[in-house]
Amino acid sequence: MLTRISHRKLWTSARRVLRPSLCRTSSAPLPSPLSHSHTFSSSAFALRSTTYAYFDFDFLHWKRHCFSTQPALELPAGKIVDVPLAQTGEGIAECELLKWHVQEGDYIEDFQPLCEVQSDKATIEITSRYKGKVAHVLHVPGDIVKVGETLLKILVDETAFPSATVGDSEITKSLHSDQVLVNESASAIAALGNSNNAELLDSDLEKRKRAAVLSTPAVRSLAKQHGIDINEVCGTGKDGRVLKEDVLNFAAKKGIIVSVSAVLDADNVEKPRGAEGYTVTPEYKSPSEDRILPLRGYQRAMVKSMSLAAKVPHFHYVDEINCNALVELKTAFQKNNPYPDVKHTFLPILVKSLSMALTKYPALNSCFKEDSMEVILKGSHNIGVAMATPNGLVVPNIKNVQSLSILEITKELARLQQLASENKLTSDDISGGTITLSNIGAIGGKFGSPLLNLPEVSIIAIGRIQKIPQFDGNGNVYPVSLMTVNVGADHRVLDGATVSRFCNEWKQLIENPELLMLHLK
């Protein structure tokens, strides 16, 4: 048993083996450090003229002995690896970097969040596949990053990989395969046998030092702005981190800038900051000046989707719905609300009644495949609700409304609204919609003419509920709460008669909400 433990320790200590071509080799008996340890069993080793390597490092005042039958493998331990932007969804080619959760020099664990990115469809959190130290951050918040492009570089922790321990049944195989983890610096240390190799080591170490300069993206951007190679700047921060002052002092010595203090004073002027802490550009004093505003995230998605929708032949059907009973029902919900965290509104009732009408007219809950000239009638009522957020227009959808109660729709709608305001909607929240409801009345306006949210074939815009006077059959005036609805439809799939019948069905359910009880399951 002691022999096996000794063998295991010996092979573990030989993890940083060097290539035989860089060392003295011999078939003579092993030097004393090996001979003093337990002798290897002949049954476990089939050694024929086994070569060993002996390293004598006088400049480090230590000696080490190990052996190898072939060059060691270059595995990622102790190596800088690239972390690219992975594919975040079908058809996504690029994402906007929203914010970093780490910075250069931070030590990170497996699956630790690195950053947040936003595609045309959702906000995604990127996590780490490695354990190690952040070596280099390549992008700043606001950058557009292509799929496959490197986000940051990580110096992989050597301890994150399994050490090379071998048992009796594995030692013979290990002698031939040499499955030993290698640190990047091993080959460089072995090169110290002569002065030429020492120069090679110095050059190699210098390259590594230059590649591992610690600094923030803002400091790198400042160095790039002044045409300075940041690898030439001596850092005074923790662990040699290059600070802003280091770059400015270097620039002053090179004569690139006149005064460091003048630049710092100009940068210390307090600027307004947004919700995420990013600097907000102050408004121009002169209204005649042009400004360039890049479209990002949901705004870019709206450009693409509306450009496609504009090519589809639309028609619109407008009607007015009496909402007196709807107002009374909502008031009753509020007065008898056993859930203090639930706020009742008109929208969940409208969504549920819409689902009831779609059951009778499924053509409006479909999508059109132009290439095969087919219409797919959707079995699920995934009703999208357009939401105006600080980041643009987004349309998350409530899944399987036909199976939900009004209370469940209310809670799901509140969840989606909360995520939308925080810019944390997932791709599942946004994808899979079958029909869209746009409540422009929540902001203002009587009605609108909505464009389709392809590949859906219908969209409904509802205006605000207004109390106006109307005449009855006897000429008497009475108040009524009216809501204007505008149904936009794909004329390749739907015709005016179908949309009119559907709207009449929906109108009947809204004006007589007690009819909803007939369809409950």
The residues annotated as belonging to the active site are 491, 495
Cα 215 to Cα 234: distance, rounded to the nearest angstrom: 11
What are residue 386's phi and psi, to 5 degrees? -65, 135
Alpha-carbon torsion (98, 101, 105, 110), positive or negative: negative
Sequence-distant (≥ 6) Cβ neighbours of residue 292 within 8 angstroms: none
Cα 311 to Cα 272: distance, rounded to the nearest angstrom: 42
Residues in the chain: 521
Strand runs labelled E in 290-330: 314-322
Alpha-carbon separation of residue 92 from 98, 146, 427 (angstroms): 16, 9, 11
How, if at all, do strands 94-100 and 107-108 pair?
unpaired
Cis bond upstream, residue 455 (ω within 30): yes
Are 365 and 434 spatial neighbours (Cβ–Cβ below 8 Å)?
yes
Cα 272 to Cα 280: distance, rounded to the nearest angstrom: 6
Sequence-distant (≥ 6) Cβ neighbours of residue 82 within 8 angstroms: 150, 153
Cα 222 to Cα 224: distance, rounded to the nearest angstrom: 5
DSSP 393-441: EE--EETTGGG--HHHHHHHHHHHHHHHHTT---HHHHS--SEEEEEGG
Closest CA to 215 of 202, 224, 203, 226: 224
Q: How many CB atoms are located within 10 Å of the residue 234 CB?
A: 9
Q: How many CB atoms are located within 10 Å of the residue 412 CB?
A: 21
Q: Which amino acid is at 228?
A: I
Q: 401: which 2 tokens?
A: 């409304």
Q: 123: which 2 tokens?
A: 């906000």
Cα 65 to Cα 69: distance, rounded to the nearest angstrom: 14
How, if at all, do strands 435-439 and 383-385 pair?
parallel
Are 52 and 30 spatial neighbours (Cβ–Cβ below 8 Å)?
yes
The label of the residue with tokens 């170490």 reads 205
Q: Which amino acid is at 469?
A: P
Cα 200 to Cα 189: distance, rounded to the nearest angstrom: 10
**Which helix (H) or strand (E) segment is 154 a member of?**
strand 150-156
Strand, helix or coil for residue 255:
coil
